Structure 1
């Protein structure tokens, strides 16, 4: 029988412990030969001191500075936003620390996945067609195309709630009261029939609306073109239809130049329609519909073929994080990251506001000084811009983060960085650049879940692994997003959103290494199209370009 631990010291130098379950006032704590009782209750995921602390004393977790006390704190007292504040060590260019222990990957050395091979050598885990507006003025036309195509071609994946509404209408017409309508159980209402999938080798046609392309800064419109080029050239994309108005900042010529930067020999179907040249909206849409349909015919000729795991590029993401994120799901992804790097694949760690406090470690792990300097400069510039606009990285934790134990940005960051494992940093990439270097890549993005996931996919991630403690419904239009819960309670509470439970690590029934291998097995199935993640089943096609202002 497994004994569930009640508390944990993450790093030998830490002066706080993490409660792994709710601990009542008076609970006896036995740690490193010392014994004391808790003066007050400590909720699971929160931290409590192992010594008496004076004002302005440093708080250490994960072996790094994560805060300072703003008053005296008693031994065994829970740390909160009232008694500590965010603090993090400064960083500077240091010596390279590139030694790392490669994990045993013998079980995966001969494994492969079934993917779509592109002429530039990349391999997709999906095969999608894109319909994209270059400017928000074309959003309506994109939606008209979606309405015309999606259901007729059998690509509508998200559950439709029209039958439930029809049931409510029927009850209303028969005289049901408000109380009766509110009490009716709609869970057994059957979904209406859907059209058969016409193109079986095409995973979907995706429509990416946004609110950019004109009216903002030229920097934002240029970045949008780079982001869209990242999607058009993505290994999961067979071709694209682009709708342009014509007079906007985000010109088709800029988009084509960005495509050429990412893939100089780009040879997939790309149809660009400019409304101000064509004139009639009906002619624009008819031409777009015809070309898109014939493009789908071409895309359907692609078939899945075996590919090595070195063709995987995994985006590492977290959202709705909690006090268990840094000790269960995130380190499991870290071990998986090291496994994939050992196998020759790529991983992308982003969310720069959530690397605050661990800059020194990550910069020391950069392969050379030039790479380290670029990372440090991006971090300093980003934080300075945030502070100039009245905020800073310290403001990143959300109310949900704080409620569940992540009470300073440095605490949140130290746990979030665990997703990147221990391998050397091979490249530092600014948004919206391409991550095409095998190994660990650092990508400058906000901590905002959708903005960051959107950017990771544009950078080349063909699978995204997304850890969550509180639960979040984020997905992506073209890359499968696999959700991993940090605790069993969330996994059981949100079975239609979460794919994998890492609460087993907290409960002691599985090691971090075992969880990582289980996750990689699942990733291979997803990459091969044999497993469909919950985000894909629910049609969670979230897409938000980053305006290069302050977004934490």
Structure 2
């Protein structure tokens, strides 16, 4: 018989409802019966034993909250009867032994990527146009209009035709009711144009609102982030527009590029508007140089590369109560597979590691990295608390509604994305990954800020789990969207690529799903599969200003 509740860890004193349950229902788990005292929606938790007020609530084997009232067996957990709590952590002993997964299915496998002179391999081949300051955003918009469609990178959709149908109804005298009741649905298939440069996947324009007016530290961080994109294996070269007088100076960008790639040799065209003169002269020069760069970029073609050249960024957004028991552990197994083959994985979103710091600290290969992780976590939380917030404020209304009612519950499930391998490196934003294995990167929990940062650090594919649905993408790295439940996959199939609700339904194991996801990643990395975010042109790019963002 299909299981309708689950205890995630043997030490837990709560159970997760896998289906909607009613007050008075009697459910059985491993031979023990539980009578529900409240309605419990799927994804939510209920007490598996009597939990007195102020006592610890354990899930995933860790402290995730404390009872604000007495909780009796069968009581549902809510924001009214539990509060956030997480265990403290110390720099303890190294616990870096791990059971490597079976790699026989992937022995000798390769993907077809774009090889760069520094030894990295891209899963795509883009040209970038980058502003040093927000003052140049309008010029980027002009360049985008001038280059994208004529070179065959435009994508046509049918939404304009829907507007034209309404225009016709209005012109023919249709009233407000006729407009609102009109059937204007037209299937929105994306039509691609023929590309002039078939080996270049596109031109991407990284508009932002930074570069000046903030702190100098923000300007330096922005230059580091932009350098991460320019030196990224998925990027063939870049056109940089500078006004000239901003805090984010070109000299800082060039220094950050050298830090990441000392022998940088990609085509890079830098234009200073205050030196060039008129807007017309600036844009004419930018168009000419960008076109020349595209000619060079088109000379690079996909060739076989080992899977060790893949660097995966791990992200979750719009999470639900199933994320930590289906999608996140599934990509955690994918992470372990890739690490065992010599690849790289990035686990970020530090506000969503609250309560699991001890486990991650213990997994750091060297004490210095464990100490750096602890320092970054404490400093981040202290900054948040200084402005009246804290990691306990992290769950969004959507998270809470779907079962993640404390940050520690959310974090314990989110950390499953990192699998079980040792931590080889701890990075602060926006540093670059330098070692194969699992890396911890300090970023916010904000989906786009974190994804933006992971790609800057070297992720050439991003695995993004969601329980509620989110369209997040990235300009240069494919973002694979993975649903934690089948209902979401069916409801939002236009933006979801992979379903792991099969784990909840008992159709496959976490390990089977993790292997299936890696097979999909190989197809994406080879350019054989176009993910939904790329198909829709979801080019989200938000630099983090190092303020408090949860």
Q: Give the match for residue 232 of structure 2.
A: 234
**Structure 1 counterpart SS, 2:199:** coil
**Structure 2 counterpart SS, 1:78:** coil
Over the aligned positions, Cα root-mean-square deviation in angstroms equals 1.2
Q: Give the match for residue 498 of structure 2.
A: 500
Contact 1:487 1:501 in 2 (8 A): yes
Cα distance in 2 for residues equivalent to 1:36 and 1:303: 60
Q: Give the match for residue 288 of structure 1.
A: 286
* Equivalent runs, 1:366-405 vs 2, <5 Å: 366-405=364-403
**Structure 1 counterpart SS, 2:117:** coil
Aligned partner of 1:124 among 115, 122, 125: 122
Q: Give the match for residue 246 of structure 2.
A: 248
**Structure 1 counterpart SS, 2:97:** coil
**Structure 2 counterpart SS, 1:76:** coil
Q: Give the match for residue 543 of structure 2.
A: 545
Aligned partner of 1:343 among 341, 354, 359: 341
Summarize the Cα distance change of 1:190–1:326 in structure 2 as closer, same or farther, 3 Å threshold.
closer
Residue 223 of structure 1 deviates from its aligned partner by 0.2
Q: Give the match for residue 86 of structure 2.
A: 88
Summarize the Cα distance change of 1:439–1:549 in structure 2 as closer, same or farther, 3 Å threshold.
same
Cα distance in 1 for residues equivalent to 2:159 and 2:235: 29
Cα distance in 2 for residues equivalent to 1:115 and 1:248: 37
Q: Give the match for residue 136 of structure 1.
A: 134
In the TM superposition, what whole-angstrom CA distance separates every residue of 1:311-359 from its partner, at most 9, and x where no partner exists? 0000000000000000000000111100000011000000000000000
Please state if 1:152 is matched with 2:150. Answer: yes
Residue 176 of structure 1 deviates from its aligned partner by 2.5
Summarize the Cα distance change of 1:307–1:29 in structure 2 as closer, same or farther, 3 Å threshold.
same
* Equivalent runs, 1:46-125 vs 2, <5 Å: 46-125=44-123
Residue 65 of structure 1 deviates from its aligned partner by 0.2
Cα distance in 1 for residues equivalent to 2:543 and 2:63: 33
Cα distance in 1 for residues equivalent to 2:190 and 2:330: 40
**Structure 2 counterpart SS, 1:531:** coil
* Equivalent runs, 1:94-493 vs 2, <5 Å: 94-157=92-155, 159=157, 161-188=159-186, 195-493=193-491
Residue 160 of structure 1 deviates from its aligned partner by 5.9
Cα distance in 2 for residues equivalent to 1:194 and 1:348: 33
Residue 189 of structure 1 deviates from its aligned partner by 6.4
Cα distance in 1 for residues equivalent to 2:431 and 2:449: 14
Summarize the Cα distance change of 1:80–1:103 in structure 2 as closer, same or farther, 3 Å threshold.
same
Cα distance in 1 for residues equivalent to 2:389 and 2:513: 37
In the TM superposition, what whole-angstrom CA distance separates every residue of 1:73-131 from its partner, at most 9, and x where no partner exists? 12110011000000000000101001110000111021100000000000000000001
Cα distance in 2 for residues equivalent to 1:219 and 1:510: 48
Unaligned runs of 5+ in 1: none
Comparing 430-439 and 32-41, the one that deviates more: 32-41
**Structure 2 counterpart SS, 1:114:** strand
Q: Give the match for residue 511 of structure 2.
A: 513
In the TM superposition, what whole-angstrom CA distance separates every residue of 1:25-76 from its partner, at most 9, and x where no partner exists? 1111334554331111100000000111211010000000000001111211
Cα distance in 2 for residues equivalent to 1:153 and 1:19: 52
Cα distance in 1 for residues equivalent to 2:327 and 2:274: 50
Contact 1:122 1:311 in 2 (8 A): yes
**Structure 1 counterpart SS, 2:241:** strand
Contact 1:228 1:255 in 2 (8 A): yes
Cα distance in 1 for residues equivalent to 2:317 and 2:486: 16
Question: Normalising by structure 2, what TM-score?
Answer: 0.98
Cα distance in 1 for residues equivalent to 2:542 and 2:376: 21
**Structure 2 counterpart SS, 1:344:** coil
Q: Give the match for residue 24 of structure 1.
A: 22
Question: Normalising by structure 1, what TM-score?
Answer: 0.98
Unaligned runs of 5+ in 2: none
Aligned partner of 1:14 among 4, 12, 15: 12
In the TM superposition, what whole-angstrom CA distance separates every residue of 1:456-506 from its partner, at most 9, and x where no partner exists? 000000000000000001000000000000000000000100000000000
Residue 544 of structure 1 deviates from its aligned partner by 0.1
Cα distance in 2 for residues equivalent to 1:322 and 1:512: 17
